[in-house]
Structure 1
Amino acid sequence: MNSNQKGKKGELELAAILKSYGYEDSRRGQQYCGSNGDADVVGLPGIHIECKRVEKLNIYDAVEQSKNDARTGEMPVVMHRKNRKGWLVTMPLDDWMKLYER
């Protein structure tokens, strides 16, 4: 499977998981009109999701990408997984503490 197909499949998988948690509006951000500035997966209000479905991930680069692409008021997160592993969420500690304090 090429990397574009794997990425698309990962985004669809993640959107389905978020829907199972009750976020019915979750979908691929690039789904309808190509590169539109949306996150890879949208549907969690206030969260900018960078979705990575790779075996080797430079997590700091991925978080930086999410920070750079996040709109004002959005918390940048990277949701990622390897083959045969569960999904993980990585985000800056300051943002995580804001969520935890709520």
Structure 2
Amino acid sequence: MNSREKGKRGERELAGELRRHGYDARRGQQYCGVNGDADVVGLPGLHIECKRVERLDLYAAMSQAEHDAPDGMLPVVMHRKNNCQWLVTMRLDDYMEIYREWEAGKH
């Protein structure tokens, strides 16, 4: 399978997982194909770079997400390899902002 097809399959798989969690997610370039679109859309406020590979340069993937993310969107990389669960990588400052909001909502 060529890498483009594997990428599309990974994006569909991730969108399905996000739908399972209750979000109306889909491949970002499914309809318009504009460069700079998020790989998967449907989580408000997040610009998602999807990687479904065995070996991943996380810093390069995050750099791509940061470069492509519009102002006001948090860049994240959602990734997994075979026989493993999906993981999310994001900048520490962005994570801490989300965590503070979550923590404040608990009190």
Q: TM-score band (shorter)?
A: over 0.9
Match of 2:20 in 1: 20
Q: Which is worse superposed, 63-72 or 30-39?
A: 30-39
The alignment partner of 2:14 has SS state of helix
* Distance in 1 of aligned mates of 2:32 and 2:26: 13
Match of 1:10 in 2: 10
Alpha-carbon shift at residue 91 of structure 1 (Å): 0.4
The count of aligned residue pairs is: 101
* Distance in 2 of aligned mates of 1:4 and 1:71: 24
How does the TM-score come out when normalised to structure 1?
0.95
The alignment partner of 1:60 has SS state of helix
Alignment gaps of 5+ in structure 1: none
- Overall identity of the aligned pairs, in %: 65
Match of 1:90 in 2: 89
Ranges of 4+ aligned residues in structure 1 off by more than 3 Å: none
Higher Rg of the two aligned structures: 2
Alignment gaps of 5+ in structure 2: 102-107
The alignment partner of 2:70 has SS state of coil
Match of 2:62 in 1: 63
CA RMSD of aligned residues (A): 0.8
* Distance in 2 of aligned mates of 1:79 and 1:32: 21
